[in-house]
Chains A and B, each alone.
Chain A
Amino acid sequence: MTAPATVRVTVNGEPRDVAPGTTVAALVRDMGLEARGVAVAVDGEVVPKRRWGERTLAGGEHVEVLTIAQGG
């Protein structure tokens, strides 16, 4: 049996297909973002930047990719 070509995750509320083994770092890069000013949570847990390169995404996970916005 071959591994699936993609896994489906949810990014900021929208479904997104990514290659198996995609890391948080790769996702952020694929979204055209720099690391500066960006923070990521997976299934409600904050993923520190130093772990972005090792934290791979599994199918069904909910990813929040956040940045600063006007407020307060």
Chain B
Amino acid sequence: MLEIISEIALVTLAVALVVTFIRLVKGPTLPDRIVAMDLFGVLVVGLIVVLAGSSGVRATLDAAIVIALIGFLGTIAYATYVERGDPQ
């Protein structure tokens, strides 16, 4: 039963990734795209966590930690870039 549940959760997360990607492509301004990238990272972390929980492969949790870290740092970097403007 849990296999079916985990596949439903994975498919739902994949649909969420696609929907977020639509905003990433459409987004009229750069902050829209930054918000979409941030949500993208969180969704990928959730996907990896569900995969680790359903398959029992514990090493993938380390990858989830790294992706969460890099997503936060990228968001902060993009936000300072937007706030300061073009460095030239």
Co-assembled chains A and B: no
